[in-house]
Structure 1
């Protein structure tokens, strides 16, 4: 029997997600930064998803997906794959909704993220990034238990949930009589940047939306150039553990290819300096994977020429050792 094609998410789906998340997720502030504005020669705002439940934007998409699972299927629970932030988002959403959760996590994921996922009530199943297929492991568990798979990015409702970040940006700028010239966000599989693009381009079609990646994991930049999804050469190798998806998602790339189409990248050393800058100058704790867009701004990779820019700080779940190393950068 032929399966039905997956319906692409729309800006209206982002609106619906915002209604579901109201009173559940944190509406994170949009913060004007005088120090970054002076440095960049533009009006720069920060969207600190470090303040979101579980410490990253991932809770938004996870909850929007899980809350739509029919009551009859909830006792079987959910299964997800993640290096940490999606794991915690799914675990937290499942706990709120009274559902069991199993998370397939790489052995090299930060201990902090593994421990917090377990603390939220989820069962953690480990795997090796280089030798094992996480999707196959998760699929087998879901089939055995009759559980619902919750993809980290390639799902219409996950994308719509992440898009509420962009929706809030647009609303908060509009309240000040402003519109963005540029919105930059960190990217892995592309769920966040795809959702943001849906929300931003709906109201400001001329705004630039930029995907920010670790050097060596610039699959979006290469995919935008070639027009097809390109794979990263290695499964690991950057300390931006939250941004190591092997390639852009199928759904996310269908959105980002026409609506984003622009990417920037920075090295781990540049990201470390951005983490230290966020702590010292902005008084914010940001994990490496959450600071890539900030690093792109600080290193002059965003080609700003005045106007209004928004930098999304996507997560703050950094272990102590990594954070100390960044502060010494």
Structure 2
């Protein structure tokens, strides 16, 4: 496939946490995680605050119609700088991008709890209705909790062309409420006002760290709960690219990526590709980071090594954009 050798896109530095005791350790004020930001779009974008949509829109330059992408961050909420960077890079590559806020922004929930999936439906509808955007060539990109969201949303929209999910999960997890130290007993998502079933967190193991909270996904005693919370990926039709690091210390993104692909294969779901990097962690997903960037030496903070994460980002970046270009290309009209 052409995407294996192509050019560039993305940038998500989204941090996901879950569980009980560890939430207090990893709350923003204790762990240095980014506070919720709602950034202005800058000179090449416009603020969107209409039709139940809050976000920043970055229309592609030049004559359209252009493919459109809804881009989601993770548990950082708001309209953060990592996803803004991604949107700007995608815009330069000829995509029209909606950076969509789903909590921590005006008109949205204050916490990542019971977020209506209809919010994402509205974002897609808004994007597809914009002048210069081809509504038949839409894609989703998300990282961490945003990856969880894009996989769920894809099951509702068979018309989507592509999904790129960084550090994804095969099940829905509980929400996150920083006002309660991150703890939540609520689902992250709702549909039609009803909670999406979630996988319960396992207990916190100090020696193993954050990833221990998500080990319940691998516990045979929790198999029934995992099946209830499983994302029904077979309902999606969009071709998907999943990116993960085998050395994750946040959650087991690579095993969960393989579970997504296995379910899709077993149940007649979409074609799924996985980019898995042995020496990378939860910061595997994003554009290359220059060595003189202050963030470079922190690339190992959620698993893997600095060099491993940097190499993974450099390798995956061109593959992601090439995948998006290929999957959102105009299709010939059917012959009469």
**TM bracket, shorter-chain basis:** 0.3 to 0.5
Write 1 or 2 for the structure with the bigger share of helix: 1
